[in-house]
Amino acid sequence: MANKTNTGKVYLVGAGPGDLGLVTLRAKECIETADVIVYDHLANPEMLGWARDDAEIIYAGKKAADHTLSQDEINKLIVAKARNGAKVVRLKGGDPFVFGRGAEEARAIADAGITFEIVPGITSAIAGPAYAGIPITSRAENSHVTFFTGHEDPSKSESAIDYAALARLGGTQVMLMGVERIAQITREMLAHGVRADLPVALVRWATTGRQQTLVGTLQNIAQRVVETGFESPAVAVFGDVVALRKDLNWYERRPLSGRRIVVTRTRKQAGTLTCRLRGLGADVIELPTIRIEPPTDLREFGQLVQDAHMYDWIVFTSPNGVEKFFEMFFKLYDDAREIGGVKIAAIGPTTAQRVRDFHLHVDLQPEEFVAEAVVREFQKQGGVENLRILLARAEKARDVLPKQFSKLGAIVDEAIAYRTVPETRDVTGARRRFLEEGADLITFTSSSTVENFLALGLAWPRGMQVASIGPITSQTARDHGLKVEIEARRHDIDGLVDAIRKHFGSEK
Ligand code: SAH
């Protein structure tokens, strides 16, 4: 929490080169606890999903054409927020002290007398070559590495790059920034006597699903950049080590490399599918369509949870219902035994698993969420007449189940545990990316993901195909006029991933 009486603190944090797996544990911790986060164009905005819901998130830009904050404004903003007592996290792409003006920001913070911490990050200067399959050192090829920037301070009248020194040094040379000026830079290097056939690689959007590598020689790389329309941000590697890529290129050869795939589950549930697809090389856009909010009448929910021990049965119809129920339960009680002798029914295997996660036994587990089937299971157990049943469910859920129970003589109360609302925020920039860059494939893991996605009313990108987890989801998609190209044979996440992999494997 922001402490208004004390000065805050600033964390200058390296966000790594893009891959979320390359963020340090310390950086993640800082993001999770920050009051204010000021982030850069090159910091992967997906990590903002780790931030607290009430954190203030500020985009500081630094993309050439954007009208965002000037360096001076950024410095002032950080200082002002910290003076106000906030824990400020300044997220910078790669490592905060490798180019990109982190040094200036640190100076401004120090000059203002504010305490600060530096959290190093994995720089693109190292990760870029690694993900392109280029070892920056190799015993046979070189014994030193130079990092330099191709970006010139516009206020300097002479070139800041000492080409004569670079030519003499040899070894591996890694350049950040300046891809736009690659023609001048290679021309100068040649003029200073570097050999024309020196291998050169440019790696753009390194370590992300958008990574592309362009290989050439000092002589022809500028030409290739023009021909292919290769754009920044990119890291350039000059040196014989580039040749090792032909054997060591691992990242761009994975089965789903170059495929952009949309995951439509809620942020909390997206994890496994996203991970599996990313692991196979896909560029995953997580586009949550709904989010879970507290029910309209939280007080009533609390009351029913408090009285849960007075029922004969609690029936859970969804994993969210289980979570919200016990979240409330453990706010009210600090002893699990307060649940008493009530029996527990859970519909569907995931719901049952969530109950077991709380170390509670599931007494009844109907596999199908068809009211008739659920009721039939209860009948098998001796009927529901005069039994008190507490049904934990979502707001606006269909009311077939409570009606059926009542008809058979049960006394039913409904504990409205949560409601789902359309996800309208776009903290991670996923929606903007989806609209700007499109996608190759969208995944649907339930009928509601189809409906919720379409309800957002986003334009359908050209050529985007549909993958569905099973026939019911596929039917919902078709009912809405979609064509389903991929349907999982096994109706779970693994099955879906297998189907996607096969589909693209056969297309290649
Ligand atoms: N502090 C950053 C560098 C900031 S300067 C770091 O340590 O990585 C910005 C330059 O970094 C870009 O012009 C580009 O050359 C490079 N860069 C940053 N992230 C990159 C990425 N994911 N792929 C390729 N180049 C990247």
169 alpha carbon – ligand 1 mean position (Å)? 23
In this model, does residue 65 exceed pLDDT 60?
no
d(CA 380, CA 458): 47
Mean pLDDT across 182-205: 96
When pLDDT is cut at 50, 70 and 90, the band that residue 375 belongs to is: confident
> What's residue 4's pLDDT?
46
Catalytic residue among 19, 35, 40, 283: 40
Evaluate: CB of 16 within 6 angstroms of ligand 1.
no
Residue 94 beta carbon below 6 angstroms from any ligand 1 atom:
yes
DSSP 460: P
State the pLDDT at residue 386: 92
Looking at 35, 62, 175, 328, which residue is catalytic?
62
pLDDT for the residue 267:
63
Q: What average pLDDT does this structure show over 223-234?
A: 95
pLDDT tens across 114-141, in order?
A: 999 999 999 999 999 999 999 999 998 8
State the average pLDDT over residues 150-173: 81
213 CA to centre of ligand 1 in angstroms: 14
Output the pLDDT for position 15.
Answer: 97
Token pair, residue 115, equals: 């305490």
Mean pLDDT check: name the lowest of 67-76, 138-147, 263-272, 458-467: 263-272
Top CATH class, 294-419: alpha beta
Instruction: Assign 392 a pLDDT band (cuts: 50, 70, 90).
Output: very high
Query: Among 217, 216, 183, which residue's Cα sits nearest to residue 197?
Result: 217
pLDDT digits (tens, 9 = 90+) for 315-340: 998 889 999 999 999 999 999 999 99
Residue nearest to atom 16 of ligand 1 (CA): 176
Instruction: Give the tokens for residue 308.
Output: 């849960």
The pLDDT score that the predictor gives to residue 2 is: 46
State which ligand 1 atom lies nearest to the alpha carbon of 207: 22
The tokens describing 183, both together, are 């023609």
Average pLDDT, the chain: 91
Lowest mean pLDDT of 121-125, 142-146, 262-266, 343-347, name the range: 262-266
Ligand 1 centroid distance, CA of 205 (Å):
8
pLDDT at 318: 87
How sure is the predictor about 204, in pLDDT bands with cuts at 50, 70 and 90?
very high
What pLDDT does 350 receive?
83
* Residue 213 Cβ < 6 Å to ligand 1: no
CB 57 within 8 A of CB 35: no
The gap between the terminal CA atoms of the chain, to the nearest Å, is 52
Segment 275-284 shows an average pLDDT of 91
CB atoms within 10 A of CB 471: 12
The pair of structure tokens assigned to 322 is 């289980």
Confidence (pLDDT) at 155: 58
In the structure, what pLDDT confidence band is assigned to residue 46 with cuts at 50, 70 and 90?
Answer: confident
The yes-or-no answer on residue 177 being catalytic is yes
What's the pLDDT at 3?
Answer: 45
Domain with CATH 3.30.950.10 in the chain: 126-252
pLDDT tens-digit readout, 87-96:
999 999 999 9
- E-assigned strand segments in 56-111: 56-61, 87-92
Contact (CB, 8 A) for 445 and 264: yes
260-289+423-507: what CATH class? Answer: alpha beta
Distance CA(483)–CA(475), nearest Å, equals 10
Out of 51-55, 59-63, 154-158, least confident range: 154-158
The pLDDT value given to residue 506: 72
What pLDDT score does 62 carry?
Answer: 53
| Radius of gyration for the alpha carbons in the chain, expressed in angstroms and rounded | 28
**CA distance linking residue 364 with residue 346, whole number of Å:** 6
Summarised one tens digit per residue, pLDDT across range 99-116 is 988 999 999 999 999 999
Task: Count other C-beta atoms under 10 Å from residue 99's C-beta.
Answer: 20
- Give catalytic status of residue 310 as yes or no: no
99 Cβ below 6 A of ligand 1: yes
Q: Is 338 left (phi over 0), alpha (psi -120 to 50) or beta?
A: alpha
Evaluate: CB of 201 within 6 angstroms of ligand 1: no
CATH code of the domain made up of 9-122: 3.40.1010.10
Which residue's CA is minimally distant from atom 18 of ligand 1?
124
The span from the CA of 298 to the CA of 306, in Å, is: 12
Among 49, 116, 107, 38, CA closest to 78? 38
Please provide residue 118's backbone torsions phi and psi, each rounded to the nearest 5 degrees.
-110, 125
Residue 149 pairs in a beta bridge with: 176
Q: How remote is the CA of residue 64 from the centroid of ligand 1, in Å? A: 14
- The pLDDT of residue 364 is above 80: yes
Mean per-residue pLDDT, 457-483: 94
* Residue 193 Ramachandran class (φ > 0 left, ψ -120 to 50 alpha, else beta): left
The domain defined by 126-252 folds into 3.30.950
- Of the residues 202, 235, 238, 283, which should be mutated to test ligand 1's pocket, given the most ligand atoms within 8 Å of the CB? 235
Portions of the chain given CATH number 3.40.1010.10: 9-122
| Distance (Å) from CA 139 to ligand 1 centroid | 26
* In the chain, % of residues over pLDDT 90: 69
Q: If pLDDT is split at 50, 70 and 90, which confidence band does 5 have?
A: low
Residue 239 Cα to ligand 1 midpoint, Å, equals 19
**pLDDT for 413-452, tens place per residue?**
999 999 988 888 887 888 988 999 999 999 998 888 899 9
What mean pLDDT is predicted for residues 372-387? 86
Distance from the alpha carbon of residue 379 to the mean position of ligand 1, in angstroms:
64
The C-alpha atoms of residue 32 and residue 17 are separated, in whole angstroms, by: 19
17 Cβ closer than 6 Å to some ligand 1 atom: yes
Q: What atom of ligand 1 comes closest to residue 151's alpha carbon?
A: 13
Percentage of the chain with pLDDT > 70?
A: 94
CATH 3.40.50.10090 positions along the chain are 260-289+423-507, 294-419
| Known active-site residue 464 | no
